[in-house]
Amino acid sequence: MNAPSSEQRSLHLPEAVEMLRRSIDEWNQFRMDNRKYSPELSGADLSRFDLAGADLRLANLEGTSLVDADLSGARLSSAKLNRADLTRATLDGADLLDARLAEATLASAKLRATTLNGADLSRANLRRADMTSANLSPSEGLSRDLRSRGEIPTKLQGTDLTGADLRMADLRDIDAAGAVFKRTRGLYGERRAQGLGTVVGGHTARFRAKGDLLHWSWLKWIGKLRLFGVSTSAVIAITLYAIFVARCNVVIAALHEWAAGFEGDGQFWPSVSWLLKIPRLPLSPYLALQLIAIGCLALGAAIYHCGCPNHIKENGETRWERELGEPMVEYRAGNCSARPWRYICGALFLVGGAYSVGYLIVNAIRAFRPVFLAE
């Protein structure tokens, strides 16, 4: 006679929340004993819960508050987390395969080495989230199957990734149409995310803030003039010249005083009187302004050299995409990176360049003015 099969149990929301609060081991054992049970936790308050390693597969967590919760290593495959609040939650190493996270809030969340294959993150808020080494790419077989049907497995459509860290993340075959990548790390450089060339809809992604009009590619036209060496040399030369003139004028003033002393005593020394005729060396009243202007150019050139990504310095947008076949996501992300430094660099170039050009024009007019007056 066969033993009767154990009856499948389910938990009401308060019971499920209490069990999760009490013991994750007990929860996981209950899930193992009741495999057909799909947790119904929508709208629950699980803020600051320790859910590390919890089995939450197929769970309905829509609208659930998981603020500051620890979900490290949790199993959340196929879970529904639409509109859930995961602000500052820790999901390191968690399994979110095929999870639904549309419109979820993951601001400042930790998603390091998290599995997000096939996840739907449409319109999610991932501002300042740490997604280092996260895997958003599907398996090759799944990707090939979905692509043959015109579908993209992992969705980041309209997702806000402002300030997120995507270094070493796998972004192959994701749909990032309309996603916001302002100040997002890991989209260029040595530790950039993998698979940037396969990102779908990257041409509609946003990389700059509203009103951000100054790009590194614009500053490149001034930066590539190699002003740093020239302007730095000019600053050193002007400084040394000013010191030299000041010291010489001190010596000349002392000689004038010494020679005048002999005349005051009624003595006349022909061999000394000529010292009174030595003129002082001229020092332009605008020398300080010239020094400041050239210093601005030198500092701006230094900021450009250190702040502008190498692929922007060496390539234009057309060459990067058409000739080299590199992803535009990487180019545009680098072009809009380091916003404060871009504007500081542009301001320094503007101040230094405007004064230098104005100085040259004024001196050219002064030089040719006698010629025009003579005519």
**DSSP-assigned states of every residue in 187-245:** SSSTTPPBTGGG-BTGGG-B-S-TT----HHHHHHHHTT-HHHHHHHHHHHHHHHHHHH
Residues 252-256: what's their mean pLDDT?
Answer: 85
Residues 147-171: what's their mean pLDDT?
Answer: 73
The verdict on residue 271 lying in a domain is yes
* Residue in the block written with tokens 């301001």: 347
Q: What angle do CA 121, 124, 129 make, to 5 degrees?
A: 95
Contact between 78 and 57 under an 8 Å Cβ cutoff? The reply is: yes
Q: How many CB atoms lie within 10 A of CB 307?
A: 17
Give how many domains the chain has, as a whole number.
Answer: 1
Given this model, what pLDDT does residue 208 score? 81
* Phi and psi angles of residue 217, each rounded to the nearest 5 degrees, phi first: -65, -25
* Phi and psi angles of residue 85, each rounded to the nearest 5 degrees, phi first: -105, 105
Q: What CA–CA distance (Å, rounded) separates 245 from 19?
A: 84
**pLDDT tens digits, one per residue of 82-103:** 999 999 999 999 999 889 999 9
Residues 211-226: what's their mean pLDDT?
Answer: 82
CA proximity to 193, closest of 131, 254, 255, 253? 131
The verdict on residue 239 lying in a domain is yes
Q: What CA–CA distance (Å, rounded) separates 143 from 172?
A: 9
**Res 236 pLDDT > 60:** yes
The verdict on residue 188 lying in a domain is no
Who has greater pLDDT, 269 or 341? 341
* Residue in the block written with tokens 């049970």: 37
Alpha helices by DSSP H, listed for 69-208, are 140-148
**Res 132 pLDDT > 50:** yes
**Res 16 pLDDT > 80:** yes
Which residues sit opposite 135 in a β-bridge?
Answer: 115, 170
Weakest mean pLDDT among 34-43, 294-303, 331-340, 354-363: 354-363
pLDDT classification of 374: cutoffs 50, 70, 90: low
Given this model, what pLDDT does residue 15 score? 92
pLDDT classification of 48: cutoffs 50, 70, 90: very high
Q: What CA–CA distance (Å, rounded) separates 28 from 37?
A: 12
Given this model, what pLDDT does residue 271 score? 62
Who has greater pLDDT, 370 or 247? 247
Residues 6+ apart with CB under 8 A from 329: 176, 181, 187, 196, 199, 202, 205
Alpha-carbon distance values, 200 to 57, 156, 171, 172, 317 (Å): 28, 10, 10, 9, 18
The verdict on residue 291 lying in a domain is yes
Who has greater pLDDT, 233 or 22? 22
**Res 263 pLDDT > 70:** no
The verdict on residue 344 lying in a domain is yes
Domain that holds residue 252: 220-374
Given this model, what pLDDT does residue 191 score? 84
The verdict on residue 149 lying in a domain is no
CA proximity to 304, closest of 332, 338, 328? 338
Given this model, what pLDDT does residue 148 score? 46
pTM of the model: 0.68
Who has greater pLDDT, 61 or 10? 61
Contact between 141 and 121 under an 8 Å Cβ cutoff? The reply is: no
SS3 content of the chain, % helix, strand, coil (to 5): 45, 10, 45
Contact between 46 and 64 under an 8 Å Cβ cutoff? The reply is: yes
Given this model, what pLDDT does residue 264 score? 55
Alpha-carbon distance values, 193 to 13, 128, 307, 322, 364 (Å): 40, 16, 20, 21, 53
Mean pLDDT of the chain: 83
Q: What CA–CA distance (Å, rounded) separates 109 from 101?
A: 13
The verdict on residue 300 lying in a domain is yes
Weakest mean pLDDT among 128-142, 212-226, 319-333: 128-142
Q: What percent of the chain has pLDDT over 70?
A: 89
Task: List the structure tokens of 247.
Answer: 């010291």
The verdict on residue 234 lying in a domain is yes
Given this model, what pLDDT does residue 145 score? 46
Residues 315-330: what's their mean pLDDT?
Answer: 84
**pLDDT tens digits, one per residue of 296-311:** 888 888 899 888 898 8
